[in-house]
């Protein structure tokens, strides 16, 4: 919680005359010197908020959320935006078709939209034709909803094999799994989810989900944890499968 502003001291106004005298004493100096001095005097009041933080990215991680969009997506997007985070949303095709406005909201919020199959099956139990249908229908559903053409694909449950990867590649999709599992699907607490984020290193990807309330509750502390470690939320490269600068 942000501490309240301290009460104004009667000593504060006394600083103003000395500042005006400092500025008047510059009148006789060359213009370039005056401008530099004025800049130094006022720099503390005009520096844009967050400028220091913007330069503090010493690495990037991939925040990912599976199984959307749902009725929880708006709240998740609000939490991410309010905390300056971007993420990759692995949407199922059936949810994208049912909630096209939420797909557009994901894009408007600066998120990246990816393919998580159409009906969320165990893909390795399907025929090649069925796998292809799952991926192709999702590509179309996401595009129809305004999410563009996904380049990334995550198999439900992480269930994959050479056939799944081959079908995905023919569809122009790079398979993305994860380096850290937040366990939010397994009722992990907000504290545990934040601790999971703390294990990420540069380029790594974490698995989270659209629905859990604990995941949404963890977002502010996820942002704080990453900032404290000099890490920023990045996009996932289709070429390497690693998180990189947006």
* Catalytic residue selected from 67, 116, 209, 210: 209
Distance from C-alpha of 7 to C-alpha of 162, rounded to nearest angstrom: 66
43 and 185 Cβ atoms separated by less than 8 Å: no
Q: Tokens at residue 94, please?
A: 């059936």
**Catalytic residue flag (residue 66):** yes
Backbone phi, psi, residue 21, to 5°? -60, -40
DSSP summary character for residue 240: T
Q: Tokens at residue 119, please?
A: 């009906």
Distance from C-alpha of 184 to C-alpha of 211, rounded to nearest angstrom: 9
Hey, which residues does 181 pair with through a beta bridge? Answer: 207
- Other Cβ atoms closer than 10 A to 102: 24
Q: Tokens at residue 157, please?
A: 């449950």
**Catalytic residue flag (residue 120):** no
Q: Give CA torsion, residues 48, 50, 52, 53, to 10 deg.
A: -160
Distance from C-alpha of 30 to C-alpha of 36, rounded to nearest angstrom: 10
69 and 95 Cβ atoms separated by less than 8 Å: yes
Who's near 161: CB < 8 A, 6+ residues apart? 124
* Catalytic residue selected from 66, 67, 184, 210: 66
Backbone phi, psi, residue 86, to 5°? -120, 155
What are the residue numbers of the active site? 66, 209
């Amino acid at each position: 919680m942000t501490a309240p502003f301290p009460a104004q001291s009667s000593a504060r106004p006394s600083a103003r005359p000395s500042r005006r005298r400092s500025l008047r004493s510059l009148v006789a100096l060359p213009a370039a010197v005056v401008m530099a001095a004025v800049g130094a005097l006022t720099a503390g009041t005009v520096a844009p908020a967050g400028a220091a933080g913007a330069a503090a990215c010493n690495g990037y991680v991939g925040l990912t959320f599976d199984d959307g969009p749902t009725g929880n997506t708006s709240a998740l997007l609000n939490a991410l935006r309010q905390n300056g985070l971007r993420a990759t949303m692995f949407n199922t095709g059936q949810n994208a078709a049912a909630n096209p406005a939420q797909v557009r909201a994901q894009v408007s919020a600066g998120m990246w939209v990816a393919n998580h199959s159409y009906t969320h099956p165990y893909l390795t139990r399907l025929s090649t034709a069925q796998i292809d249908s799952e991926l192709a229908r999702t590509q179309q559903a996401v595009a129809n909803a305004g999410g563009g053409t996904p380049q990334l694909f995550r198999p439900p449950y992480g269930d994959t094999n050479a056939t799944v990867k081959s079908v995905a590649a023919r569809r122009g999709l790079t398979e993305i799994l994860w380096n850290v599992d937040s366990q939010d699907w397994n009722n992990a607490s907000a504290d545990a989810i934040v601790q999971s984020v703390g294990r990420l290193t540069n380029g790594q990807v974490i698995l989270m989900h659209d629905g859990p309330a604990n995941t949404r509750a963890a977002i502010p502390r996820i942002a704080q944890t990453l900032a404290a470690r000099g890490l920023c939320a990045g996009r996932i490269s289709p070429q390497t499968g690693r998180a990189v600068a947006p």
